[in-house]
């Protein structure tokens, strides 16, 4: 169909396409942020044996609108003595990276805003801006809790960037490309072709995913690694001084980041838009499969949050430096060895 | 290591220079004198010792050596007698023993030494007693209001206190 | 595990003092469970000095005691520690009964034991949920309140109140228990052990929780003694001090129960003590229900209660430790002096010494393991 539209519009098509995707991604992030909050509260309610929000319209389904209405109605106050520029810049900076990252995610075979060859690199480079935003928020707020929080966020993100990138490199060695759509393309056919199950490339592939998932939780500051917010220790961490929509943006960005993280996990490990069975694939079912996998992972993220207590900060760093980094290094070496071993044997014998 | 009541009695008679107290007879009035053994089922404590205000720290040291823990410090305002009584309660974590130490200070000048150097837990209890009764504990590291507002200059548990 | 840092007075190589800042934790802080304020001098995330500042909800119960009759002070006792109101009423009632030499019928004593122990479980459930929410796990709180709800329903049935019971009276109880209560209590005794097992599997054995509590916040037996800390705090330091055994009161000598003791002195030990205590409380309740004697629940009490002059004290094992009431009577119908020795006050007073050199999240975990109720501290 896009071919017809393309012919119709002629040279103007790339711009229209860009605008369409911009609107689409904006709507996707907005809807996700709004309804994932509701989903989280409903799931939390379910886990805690209570109904969750059920008052605002149609069994609670209008709750996000009520929330957003409330947040907009609140005054956004800039406390005296803060660094006004940075204080206002932080919410913008926290929201921009997930929006950019989503442009390269392939939702379907042809459903990707920008099919960039270095898509994965782009995601990780923009993804790491997130920490800057939280640091700015904490620093600019002129609040002791916020400053402690921003110090924590930086050391946490630095610590978890490393194992995350190590496992991604492990995957890259197997896939040989940074283009996300190509990575998905390689995982076609039955579900055992997904990277998660490709134990013949590396017998530790599921472990790699677990490391990736843990790092993703830590990078998105989700429980049990929510050091940035840590509400029972640091009140609201870096967001303590934010109110109204300033806080709302941080809140939205958290969910947008989860969506990005889970999308990447889906693409890298679970075959993106590929059907787990050979049947039921194609341009209609592709995005559907993607969404199913994506939200299954998002659900897992929420499930973890409502099950575990928060880790202690130094244990969190120990987990990264003493456990995750050595294991991910080992998987990296193992993958390399397994790829080169046949070659070596061939040369020797 | 759990001390017996006789040992504790001995220590205090040593301190106060008094003949050892006899065990209480049932229903009889408690024997006069500063070291009195009381019936736990009637009074809730085993040994009741009256010391002079200057001896409270020495008494605390005795009990500290015997392994007692500090239960509470409090005051009683005896307006009619013109005196204030400071009551120290001790419990023993192992032996079923409870000891009460009392000291009376004049209302006009309610001062006695602190025991917070011996039992750090007394720090807060003495601050509280100072709040409520205005009893000054000499040598206390930080005798500022604890439960009352920081600018409080009244002592609500004094019997002549008018709100 | 993090080695505890010594408080650093001077910077490296004896240079300028290390920079510290003051962090005001509270009086409105999510981990303070009410209006507790802790003035923390911090070196980064390390605490060099943490001074609790209390008194924000001081209500002067002791003064209230001096201007009303003995019986009229009774409702106040439930309001000191609202989570273990039964124990607190028990201590005051016990002190007055001791002074006035009032005989309490056996049935009343047994029901006092049953309700006290149920109240202990309810209180520990709140502590458990609150500790876990301090540690960032919000789900157990709701489960704990589920169980607590059953107990509160039972109490509501016998005395009409769900929190501030005022169920005990001088000489007995205000109401006899009905069949609904006995049936409900029996059902609860059956309901609870599987739940406790679930909590053990789901929470106690969780590695994150173990990492958060094991080896954190050591409080030695000697420190407990010097500060007068009692209850699960001293039992978590390896001392089997329990007022129910050391100074037996009410009908407790008739029952067979153990005092859970853990010698590790850390937050985990205090945690486990309370978890085991709930099992023991269930045992006591079961035994008391099985051997509940018939008869009246109210002894002979004079119409106008005047206590003989003298001072009397009575201690009970409340959920947080030793609670003692010392009453001084001058022979009138109103108390001359009522002294309330509350366990949380002493348990918190050791925080300044125990938290030195800890990091903030550990200190808060320790604060949670002390199980503080702020009105109990401030009175």
Question: Does position A86 have pLDDT exceeding 80, yes or no?
Answer: yes
pLDDT at C5 over 70: no
Residues of C in contact with A315 (CB under 8 A): 208, 211-212
Q: Which of A48, A306, A315 sits opposite C211 (nearest CB)?
A: A315
C40: closest CA of chain A, how far (Å): 12
A19-47: average pLDDT? 85
Partner C contacted by B116 (CB < 8 A): no
Find the mean pLDDT for residues C283-312.
86
In the complex, which subunits touch C with 3 or more CB pairs below 8 angstroms?
A, B
Taking the CB of residue A327, how many other CB atoms lie within 10 A of it?
A: 18
Please give the DSSP secondary-structure letter assigned to residue C351: H
Instruction: Answer whether B69 touches C (CB < 8 Å).
Output: yes
Whole-number Å distance between alpha carbons of C72 and C67: 9
Instruction: Work out the percent of chain A whose per-residue pLDDT is above 70.
Output: 97
Dump pLDDT digits (tens) for C75-113.
888 888 888 889 999 999 999 888 888 888 988 889 999
Q: Which of A148, A232, A314 is the closest to C133 by Cβ?
A: A232
Number of domains chain B contains: 1
Answer yes or no: do A311 and C208 touch at CB < 8 A. Answer: yes
Dist CA A215 CA A219 (whole Å): 6
Residues 6+ apart with CB under 8 A from B96: B40, B46, C246, C247
**Main-chain dihedrals φ then ψ at residue A318, nearest 5 degrees:** -60, -40
pLDDT at A238 over 70: yes
Given a contact cutoff of 8 angstroms between Cβ atoms, the answer to whether A232 and C364 are in contact is: yes
Q: Using DSSP bridges, classify how beta strands B111-113 and B136-138 pair: parallel, antiparallel or unpaired.
A: parallel
Distance (Å) from the alpha carbon of C362 to chain A's nearest alpha carbon: 8
Residue range A213-234: average pLDDT?
81
Which of C23, C135, C142 has its CB closest to that of A309? Answer: C135
Give the confidence band of A18 by pLDDT, cuts at 50, 70, 90: confident
Closest B-chain CA to C95? B44
Quickly state the pLDDT bin for C2 (edges 50, 70, 90): very low
Higher pLDDT, C351 or A11: C351
Please indicate whether chains C and A are in contact, defined as at least 3 beta carbon pairs under 8 Å: yes
Give the nearest partner residue to C314 out of B44, B87, B100, using CB atoms. B44
What number of other Cβ atoms are within 10 A of residue A70's Cβ?
11
What is the rounded average pLDDT for all residues in chain C?
86
Label the pairing between strands C46-53 and C37-43: antiparallel
Residues present in chain C in total: 379
Cα distance from C25 to chain A (closest Cα, Å)? 9
CB-nearest to C328 from B42, B76, B98 is B76
B46 in contact with C at a CB cutoff of 8 Å?
Answer: no
Residue C328 vs residues A61, A193, C301, C337, C370: alpha-carbon distances, Å: 62, 83, 19, 5, 31
**Distance from the C372 Cα atom to the nearest Cα atom in chain B, whole angstroms:** 16
> How far is the CA of B37 from the CAs of B26, B98, C293, C377, in angstroms?
12, 11, 35, 31
Please indicate whether, in this complex, the C-beta atoms of C349 and B121 are within 8 angstroms of each other.
yes
- pLDDT score at C10: 45
Give percent of chain C above pLDDT 70: 95
Residues from chain B that touch C341, judged by Cβ atoms under 8 A, are: 71-72, 74, 89
Cβ contact, residue pair A232, C364, below 8 Å: yes
Verify whether the Cβ–Cβ distance C226 to B40 is below 8 Å: no
Is a pLDDT exceeding 60 seen at residue A258? yes
- Quick one: pLDDT at residue A291? 87
How confident is residue A6, by pLDDT bands cut at 50, 70 and 90?
Answer: low
List pLDDT tens digits, range B87-139. 998 888 888 888 888 888 888 888 888 888 888 888 899 888 988 888 888 88
Quickly state the pLDDT bin for C331 (edges 50, 70, 90). confident
Q: How far apart are alpha carbons A20 and C247 in whole angstroms?
A: 79
> Mean pLDDT over all residues of chain A?
83
Domain positions in chain A: 1-73, 82-348
CB–CB contact A309 C212 (8 Å):
yes
B149 touches chain C (CB under 8 A): yes
| Bridge partners of residue B100, in order along the sequence | B48, B89
Distance CA C318, CA C342 (A): 9
- CA–CA gap between residue B135 and residue C345 (Å, rounded): 20
Look at residue C14 and tell me whether its pLDDT is greater than 60. no
Q: Which of B27-41, B95-109, C179-193 has the lowest average pLDDT?
A: B27-41
How many secondary structure helices (H) and strands (E) does chain C include?
Answer: 15, 8
The lowest-confidence range among A251-255, C13-17, C138-142, C256-260 is C13-17
SS (H, E, C) A41-64: HHHHHHHCCCCCCCCCCHHHCCHH
Tell me what the mean pLDDT of segment A177-189 comes to: 81
Q: Is C279 exposed, middle or buried (0-12, 13-18, 19+ CB in 10 A)?
A: middle
Asked if A129 and A204 touch (Cβ cutoff 8 Å), the reply is no
More confident residue, B35 or B97: B97
In C145-164, the residues whose Cβ lies within 8 Å of chain A are: 146
Q: Which chain A residues have any C-beta within 8 angstroms of a chain C C-beta?
A: 44, 47-50, 144-145, 148, 151, 223-224, 226, 230-233, 235, 306-315
Radius of gyration of chain B (CA): 16
Structural contact between residues C367 and C351, judged by C-beta atoms closer than 8 angstroms: yes
Residue-wise pLDDT tens digits, C44-73: 788 888 888 888 888 888 888 888 888 888
Burial environment of residue A4 by CB neighbours within 10 A (0 to 12, 13 to 18, 19 or more): exposed
Per-residue pLDDT at B30 exceeds 50: no
Percent of chain A with pLDDT over 90: 1
Would the CB atoms of C339 and B74 count as touching at under 8 Å?
yes
Q: Which residues, 6 or more positions from B55, have their beta carbon under 8 angstroms from its beta carbon?
A: B15, B16, B103
Would an 8 Å CB–CB cutoff place B40 in contact with chain C?
Answer: yes
- Output the pLDDT for position C171: 85
Q: How far apart are CA A13 and CA C38, in angstroms?
A: 63
Closest to C30 (Cβ–Cβ): which among A47, A48, A231? Answer: A231
Q: Chain B residues with CB inside 8 Å of C63's CB? A: 156-157
Closest approach of B87 to chain C, Cα-based (Å): 10
| Partner-chain residue, chosen from C29, C143, C209, that has the shortest CB–CB distance to A309 | C209
The mean pLDDT value for A279-284 works out to 75
The whole-number pLDDT of residue C7 equals 47
Q: Give, in order, the Cα–Cα distances in Å from B132 to each of B51, B154, C36, C174.
A: 22, 8, 20, 34
Check if C133 contacts A (Cβ < 8 Å): yes
Residue C13's pLDDT is: 46
User: Domain holding B55: CATH number?
Assistant: 3.30.460.80
Residues of C in contact with A143 (CB under 8 A): none
Question: Which residues in chain C have their CB less than 8 angstroms from residue A312's CB?
Answer: 211-212, 361-362, 365
Choose from C221, C228, C347 for mutation: most chain B CBs within 10 A. Answer: C228
Q: What is the pLDDT of residue A331?
A: 87
Which residues are CB-neighbours of C209 under 8 A, at least 6 positions away?
A309, C132, C135, C137, C203
pLDDT of residue C3: 47
**C142 closest CB neighbour out of A49, A148, A232:** A49
Interatomic CA distance for residues A240 and C296, integer angstroms: 58
- Does residue C295 carry a pLDDT above 50? yes
Considering CB atoms only, which of B42, B72, B123 is closest to C341?
B72
**pLDDT exceeds cutoff 50 at A104:** yes
| pLDDT at residue number B29 | 43
As a whole number, mean pLDDT of residues C126-141 equals 87
> Given pLDDT bands bounded at 50, 70 and 90, which one contains residue C119?
very high
B-to-C residue pairs, Cβ atoms closer than 8 angstroms: 115
Instruction: Determine contact: C44 vs chain A, CB below 8 A.
Output: yes
Out of 1.10.1370.30, 1.10.580.10, 3.30.450.40, 1.10.645.10, select the CATH number for domain C61-378: 1.10.645.10
Residue C319 has pLDDT above 80, yes or no: yes
Position A240 scores a pLDDT of 81
Q: Do C55 and B149 touch (CB under 8 A)?
A: yes
Give pLDDT, residue B24: 46
Cβ pair B87:C326 closer than 8 A: yes
pLDDT of residue B145: 86
Chain B residue with the nearest C-alpha to that of C247: B96
Interface test with C, best of A233, A304, A307, A313 (most C CBs within 10 A): A233
- Chain-chain contact of A50 with C142 (C-beta, under 8 angstroms): yes
Q: Is the pLDDT of residue A290 over 50?
A: yes
User: pLDDT of B53-86, one tens digit each?
Assistant: 888 888 888 888 888 888 888 888 888 888 888 9
Query: What is the model's pLDDT at position C123?
Result: 92
- How far is residue C198's CA from residue A29's CA, in Å, rounded to a whole number? 39
Q: Is residue B124 part of a domain?
A: no
Is there a contact between C226 and B96 if contact means CB atoms under 8 Å apart? no
Domain that holds residue B59: 5-23+33-110
């Amino acid at each position: 169909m896009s071919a017809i539209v393309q012919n119709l519009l002629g040279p103007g098509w790339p711009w229209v396409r860009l605008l369409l995707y911009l609107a689409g991604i904006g709507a996707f992030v907005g809807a996700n942020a709004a309804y994932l909050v509701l989903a989280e509260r409903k799931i939390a309610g379910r886990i805690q044996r209570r109904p969750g929000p059920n008052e605002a319209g149609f069994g609670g389904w209008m709750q996000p609108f009520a929330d957003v209405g409330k947040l907009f109605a609140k005054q956004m106050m800039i406390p005296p003595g803060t660094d006004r520029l940075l204080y206002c810049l932080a919410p913008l900076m926290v929201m921009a990276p997930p929006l950019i990252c989503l442009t390269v995610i392939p939702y379907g075979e042809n459903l990707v805003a920008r099919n960039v060859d270095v898509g994965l690199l782009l995601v990780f480079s923009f993804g790491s801006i997130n920490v800057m935003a939280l640091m700015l928020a904490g620093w600019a707020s002129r609040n002791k809790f916020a400053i402690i929080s921003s110090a924590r966020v930086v050391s946490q993100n630095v610590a978890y960037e490393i194992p995350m990138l190590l496992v991604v490199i492990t995957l890259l060695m197997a896939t040989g490309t940074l283009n996300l759509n190509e990575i998905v393309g390689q995982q076609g056919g039955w579900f055992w072709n997904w990277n998660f199950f490709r134990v013949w490339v590396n017998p530790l592939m599921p472990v790699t995913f677990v490391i990736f998932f843990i790092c993703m939780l830590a990078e998105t500051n989700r429980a049990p690694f929510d050091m940035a917010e840590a509400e029972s220790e640091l009140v609201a961490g870096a967001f303590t001084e934010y109110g109204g929509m300033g806080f709302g943006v941080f809140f939205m960005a958290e969910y947008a980041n989860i969506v990005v993280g889970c999308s990447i996990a889906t693409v890298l490990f679970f075959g993106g838009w590929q059907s787990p069975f050979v049947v039921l694939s194609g341009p209609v079912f592709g995005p559907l499969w993607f969404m199913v996998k994506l939200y299954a992972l998002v659900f897992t993220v929420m499930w973890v949050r409502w099950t575990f207590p928060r880790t202690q900060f130094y244990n969190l760093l120990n987990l990264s430096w003493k456990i995750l980094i050595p294991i991910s290094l080992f998987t990296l070496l193992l993958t390399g060895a397994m790829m080169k071993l046949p070659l070596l044997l061939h040369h020797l014998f | 290591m759990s001390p017996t009541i006789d040992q504790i009695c001995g220590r205090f008679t040593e301190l106060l220079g008094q003949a050892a107290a006899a065990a209480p007879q049932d229903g009889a009035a408690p024997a006069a004198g500063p070291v009195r053994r009381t019936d736990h089922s009637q009074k809730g404590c085993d040994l009741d010792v009256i010391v002079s205000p200057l001896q409270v720290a020495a008494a605390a040291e005795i009990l500290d050596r015997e392994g007692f823990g500090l239960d509470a410090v409090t005051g009683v305002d005896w307006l009619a007698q013109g005196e204030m009584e400071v009551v120290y309660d001790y419990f023993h974590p192992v032996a079923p023993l409870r000891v009460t130490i009392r000291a009376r200070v004049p209302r006009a000048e309610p001062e006695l030494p602190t025991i917070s150097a011996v039992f750090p837990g007394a720090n807060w209890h003495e601050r509280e007693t100072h709040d409520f009764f205005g009893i000054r504990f000499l040598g206390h590291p930080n005798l500022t209001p604890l439960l009352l507002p920081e600018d409080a200059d009244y002592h609500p548990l004094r019997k002549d206190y008018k709100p | 595990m993090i080695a505890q840092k010594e408080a650093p007075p001077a910077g490296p190589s004896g240079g300028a003092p290390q920079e510290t800042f003051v962090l005001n934790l509270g009086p409105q802080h999510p981990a303070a469970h009410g209006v507790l304020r802790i003035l923390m001098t911090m070196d980064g995330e390390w605490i060099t000095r943490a001074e609790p500042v209390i008194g924000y909800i001081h209500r002067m119960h002791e003064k209230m005691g001096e201007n009303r009759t003995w019986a009229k002070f009774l409702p106040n006792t439930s309001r000191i520690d609202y989570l273990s109101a039964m124990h607190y009423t028990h201590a005051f009632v016990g002190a007055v009964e001791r002074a006035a030499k009032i005989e309490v019928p056996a049935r009343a004593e047994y029901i006092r034991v049953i309700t006290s122990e149920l109240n202990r479980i309810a209180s520990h459930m709140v502590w458990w949920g609150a500790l876990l929410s301090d540690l960032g796990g919000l789900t157990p709180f709701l489960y704990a309140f589920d169980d607590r709800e059953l107990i509160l329903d039972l109490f509501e049935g016998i005395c009409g109140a769900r929190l501030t019971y005022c169920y005990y009276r001088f000489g007995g109880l205000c109401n006899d228990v009905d069949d609904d209560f006995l049936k409900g209590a029996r059902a609860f005794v059956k309901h609870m052990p599987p739940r406790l097992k679930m909590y053990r599997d789901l929470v106690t054995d969780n590695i994150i929780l173990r990492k958060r509590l094991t080896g954190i916040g050591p409080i030695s037996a000697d420190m407990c003694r010097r500060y007068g800390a009692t209850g699960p705090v001293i039992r978590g330091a390896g001392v089997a001090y329990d007022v129910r055994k050391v100074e037996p009161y009410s009908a407790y000598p008739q029952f067979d129960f153990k005092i859970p003791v853990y010698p590790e002195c850390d937050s985990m030990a205090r945690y486990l003590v309370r978890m085991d205590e709930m099992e023991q409380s269930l045992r006591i309740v079961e035994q008391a229900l099985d051997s509940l004697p018939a008869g009246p629940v109210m002894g002979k009490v004079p119409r106008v209660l005047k206590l003989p002059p003298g001072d009397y004290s009575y201690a009970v094992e409340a959920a947080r430790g030793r609670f003692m009431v010392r009453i001084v009577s001058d022979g009138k119908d109103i108390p001359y002096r009522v002294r309330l020795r509350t366990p949380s006050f002493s348990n918190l007073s050791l925080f300044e010494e125990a938290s030195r050199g800890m990091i903030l999240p550990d200190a808060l975990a320790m604060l949670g393991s002390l199980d503080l109720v702020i009105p109990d501290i401030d009175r």
